[in-house]
């Protein structure tokens, strides 16, 4: 009888255990929304202690650490989240953002490439990978990234403008100026300044 009571107690304690971890995760998200990032991290840490295999707690903790500019800590948390769930596209994306702040362009490209494999319909990933490729002066890859972003959202002026710059750098002046013109039509006034400067 004692053994049955022990098993029953263990079962219900595990139910309470999971619920408590989820509650701390929810409180952490709420604190993050209130911009109490230290409080959020404390909540996520408790959630991790209660359920160390919850990738969401690590990922959210990484996001809060990024807000506090603790990019190394953020990358460590995102990396654990990815180890727990190798198909966690958001964790790859956010780790890439943290690497941007550390000027690790190669690492950014690697993470965004994985994020694209997992979610190829996210325009923002192509935009950000394009910036990293631009930082490495890989203008052919820049053009490819912004072309893909345009295919996903042809009403966004930024990829047209950025692709135009890359084309001009590669000596493709006519097509670059067409991109500036399209960016201007979509409302990006700076594009007209570039036309005056580079497209005569």
pLDDT in tens, 102-114: 999 999 999 999 9
Whether 108 and 176 map to the same domain: the answer is no
Phi, psi of 51 (to 5 degrees): -145, 80
Same domain, 102 and 19: yes
What number of other Cβ atoms are within 10 A of residue 137's Cβ? 10
Report whether 70 contacts 62 (CB < 8 A).
no
Structurally, the chain folds into a number of domains equal to: 2
Structural domain includes residue 5:
no
For 97-151, what is each residue's pLDDT tens digit?
999 999 999 999 999 999 999 999 999 999 999 999 999 999 999 999 999 999 9
Same domain, 127 and 193: yes
In a domain, 69, yes or no: yes
Task: Among 90, 112, 134, give the residue marking a domain's end.
Answer: 112
- Is the pLDDT score of 17 beyond 80? no
Quick: pLDDT tens for 42-92. 999 999 999 999 999 999 999 999 999 999 999 999 999 999 999 999 999
Please indicate, yes or no, if residue 4 is contained in any of the structural domains.
Answer: no
Percent of the chain with pLDDT over 90: 88
Report the percent of the chain where pLDDT is more than 70: 90
Cβ atoms within 10 A of the Cβ of 27, count? 17
Q: Is residue 68 part of a domain?
A: yes
| Same structural domain, 38 and 127 | no
Domain boundary among 61, 95, 112: 112
Specify the pLDDT at position 109: 97
Query: Where is the domain boundary, 83, 112, 141?
Result: 112
What domain range is 43 assigned to? 11-112
Check residue 200 and give its pLDDT: 80
* Same domain, residue pair 57 and 97: yes
- The CATH number assigned to the domain holding 79 equals 1.25.40.10
Report if residue 196 sits inside a domain: yes
Q: What is the pLDDT of residue 6?
A: 31
**Among 11, 64, 5, 62, which Cα is nearest to 33's?**
64
Same domain as 105, residue 125: no
């Amino acid at each position: 009888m004692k053994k049955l009571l022990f098993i029953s107690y263990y079962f219900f304690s595990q139910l309470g255990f999971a619920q408590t971890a989820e509650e701390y995760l929810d409180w952490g998200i709420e604190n993050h929304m209130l911009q109490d990032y230290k409080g959020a991290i404390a909540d996520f840490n408790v959630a991790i202690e209660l359920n160390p295999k919850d990738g969401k707690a690590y990922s959210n903790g990484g996001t809060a650490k990024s807000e506090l500019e603790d990019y190394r800590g953020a990358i460590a948390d995102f990396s654990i989240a990815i180890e727990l769930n190798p198909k966690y596209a958001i964790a790859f994306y956010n780790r890439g953002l943290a690497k941007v702040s550390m000027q690790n362009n190669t690492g950014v490209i690697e993470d965004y490439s994985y994020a694209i494999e997992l979610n190829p319909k996210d325009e923002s990933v192509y935009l950000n990978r394009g910036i990293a490729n631009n930082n490495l002066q890989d203008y052919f890859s820049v053009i490819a990234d912004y072309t893909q972003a345009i295919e996903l959202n042809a009403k966004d002026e930024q990829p047209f403008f950025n692709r135009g710059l890359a084309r001009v750098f590669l000596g493709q002046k006519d097509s670059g100026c067409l991109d500036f013109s399209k960016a201007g039509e979509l409302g990006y006034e700076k594009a007209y300044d570039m036309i005056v400067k580079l497209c005569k």
